[in-house]
DNA sequence: GCCAACGTTGGC
DNA sequence: GCCAACGTTGGC
């Protein structure tokens, strides 16, 4: 059984369209311990709601899947990278990431107001801790968001 | 673009 | 270990 997550990206930084074009990507640059811990808990095959923040309205826009379990974020060791962290070391990395692949884009985005208006989604982390960029999602919540989007996953 | 809410840092 | 100061996120 997969677990379910939600990952945020600013639409003008790395959108679901960018992920569709690339096929898969390294989720680098996360510098929050709670978000990192969530990525370290991910397994290959886990499913991800892809969320665009800082657009109007912010919305869940599609689905991705974890394709590689957590490993050290290489950008933390690169002094020329904006995510460089001088306090991290290769022996004891601070920051970890996963690789995700594109699954699909919703024809109907599920906006934050829609999520907030849905009783069954009242306990989503998205509603209660808006700052966390990688968060766990219950299966029932995941299924409900997909239903609201009118999106069907390919059976595997 | 503003600013509230939150997380992190560092002085004590 | 507390907490003020600071930086960042993200909704609006």
Give the pLDDT band of residue A156 (cuts 50, 70, 90): low
Pairing of strands A96-111, A24-26: antiparallel
> CA A28 – C1' C3 distance (Å)?
32
DSSP 8-state symbol, A92:
S
pTM for this predicted structure: 0.94
What span, in angstroms and rounded, lies between the C-alpha atoms of A65 and A68?
A: 9
Task: Return the higher-pLDDT residue of A134 and A87.
Answer: A134
> CA A133 – C1' C11 distance (Å)?
14
* Residue whose structure tokens are 């995941």: A142
The structural architecture, per CATH, of the domain A4-149 is Roll (3.10)
Give the pLDDT band of residue A26 (cuts 50, 70, 90): very high
Q: Is the CB of A37 under 7 A from strand C?
A: no
Q: Does the CA dihedral A57-A62-A68-A74 come out positive or negative?
A: negative
What span, in angstroms and rounded, lies between the C-alpha atoms of A8 and A146?
A: 17
What span, in angstroms and rounded, lies between the C-alpha atoms of A64 and A102?
A: 5
Question: What are the extents of the domains in chain A?
Answer: 4-149
């Amino acid at each position: 059984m997969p677990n379910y997550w939600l990952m945020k990206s600013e639409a003008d930084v790395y959108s679901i369209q960018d992920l569709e074009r690339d096929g898969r990507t390294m989720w680098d640059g996360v510098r929050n311990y709670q978000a990192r811990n969530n990525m370290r808990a991910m397994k290959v095959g886990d499913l991800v709601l892809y969320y665009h923040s800082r657009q109007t309205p912010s919305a869940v826009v599609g689905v991705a899947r974890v394709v590689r379990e957590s490993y050290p974020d290489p950008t933390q060791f690169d002094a020329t990278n904006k995510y460089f962290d001088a306090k991290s070391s290769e022996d004891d990395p601070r920051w970890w990431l996963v690789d995700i692949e594109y699954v699909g884009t919703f024809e109907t985005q599920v906006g934050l107001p829609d999520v907030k208006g849905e009783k069954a989604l009242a306990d989503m982390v998205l509603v209660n801790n808006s700052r966390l960029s990688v968060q766990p999602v219950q299966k029932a919540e995941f299924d409900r968001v997909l239903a609201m989007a009118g999106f069907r996953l390919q059976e595997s």
